[in-house]
Amino acid sequence: MTSMAMKASQEDFEKAKGQVKLLKEDPGNEVKLKLYALFKQATEGPCTSAKPGMFDFVNKAKWEAWNALGSLPKDTARQNYVDIVSSLVSSQSSSQEKTSSNDRKLEYETLVVTREDNITKIMLNRPSKKNAINMKMYNEIILALEAAEKDDSTLTVITGSGDYYSSGNDLSDSANMESGEIEKKIKDGAMLLRLFVDHFIDFPKPLVAVVNGPAVGISVTLLALFDIVYATDRATFHTPFIQLGQSPEACSSYTFPKIMGPVKASEILIFGKKLTAQEAYARGLITEVFPDSSFQKEVWTRLKAYSQLPPKAMSSSKQLIRSFEKETLHRINFEECTLLCERWRSDEFINAIVNFINRKSKL
């Protein structure tokens, strides 16, 4: 009887290994580390390898997760692994069924999503807040990208409503934190940011930014992960990270120096130089600048023509181009989010938020 149970458990373990690879949704860093540790414990036993160096963030996190299991028996680790995977599969299956049955009925509070002429348009829709990205919008953009990945459109376009493309992160989210929940908010925020950027790294279809006005913070740094960036000539591009006690995100610490060279990138990311549309074009951050008076007409005429190109050829070509650095981008995203966690705990960031609250209260 014990032998049969052991065999069944091993079969379940093998099945679970395959199911992990088929998960459609990222279960998050914490769960992935737990699965990694349990897998190593189930197959190799307790951790005996040397601890990686302090700057090897990814392998250090994996080692710590595995080492934390101590002398947990292989059978127990195998069962725990199977239980977690089963829970993930069940949860995602339920979510996918719900998404499938309501595919065209998704409703958003912070976005307007439309599909026309083989183009899915995701419009940031908080014009009274200059399309500042709050937690709700982060999650809704993730959902919109997941839906666009599965629909029958050829291109996906992100743009803003009103005069702004986006004013970046909504600092009100940080200002509203209570002292007792700060650490949880920091961890949750970092996990959400990493998941958010991962969706841009992995998005399989051509992704276009139609920058209809000023862009700030993450709405700027993300642009390097798009395939085309069109901007009106009244757009500006500003990344005031240091002023806010923060550090770069959305892989910009890697993509910006690669695109424009380290000196030009440092001027933007470290010293916060605001670029005009023409300056951003000259530095290779955007594809083309259009006069504001004809911006919408010229851009959408061009995009409608592109949307008639063979979709599979475009998608496979994009994925080939991205494949050479996808692993690097995911690693950079992880490291940037790790550093941001430190910055969000710093006095510099806290003082910046206090100053933001004080300025807001005087308005």
pLDDT for 33 beyond 60: yes
- What tens digit of pLDDT does each residue of 322-347 get? 999 999 999 999 999 999 999 998 99
- Residue spans per domain, the chain: 2-98, 106-362
- Look over the chain and give the mean of its residue pLDDT values, rounded to a whole number: 88
pLDDT for 83 beyond 80: yes
pLDDT at 102: 46
Compute and round to an integer the Cα radius of gyration of the chain.
22
Q: Which CATH fold would you assign to the domain 106-362?
A: 2-enoyl-CoA Hydratase; Chain A, domain 1 (3.90.226)
Q: Which CATH fold would you assign to the domain 2-98?
A: Acyl-CoA Binding Protein (1.20.80)
pLDDT at 86: 84
- What tens digit of pLDDT does each residue of 144-171 get? 999 999 999 999 999 999 999 999 999 8
Spell out the residues 6+ positions from residue 207 whose beta carbon is closer than 8 angstroms to its own. Answer: 155, 156, 157, 158, 200, 225, 226, 227, 228
Spell out the residues 6+ positions from residue 231 whose beta carbon is closer than 8 angstroms to its own. Answer: 211, 277, 280, 281, 286, 288, 289, 290
pLDDT at 152: 93
pLDDT for 5 beyond 50: no
In order of 35, 45, 81, 190, the CA distances from 65 in angstroms are: 9, 13, 14, 18
Alpha carbon 67 to chain centroid, angstroms: 29
Q: How confident is the model at residue 97 (pLDDT cuts 50, 70, 90)?
A: low
Q: How confident is the model at residue 220 (pLDDT cuts 50, 70, 90)?
A: very high
Query: What average pLDDT does range 7-32 have in this prediction?
Result: 77
Torsion, Cα of 92, 93, 97, 102 (10° steps): 10
Pair type for strands 275-276 and 236-238 = antiparallel
The label of the residue with tokens 């940011």 reads 193
- What tens digit of pLDDT does each residue of 231-282 get? 999 999 999 999 999 999 999 999 999 999 999 999 999 999 999 999 999 9
- What tens digit of pLDDT does each residue of 61-78 get? 898 899 999 998 988 888
Q: How confident is the model at residue 103 (pLDDT cuts 50, 70, 90)?
A: very low
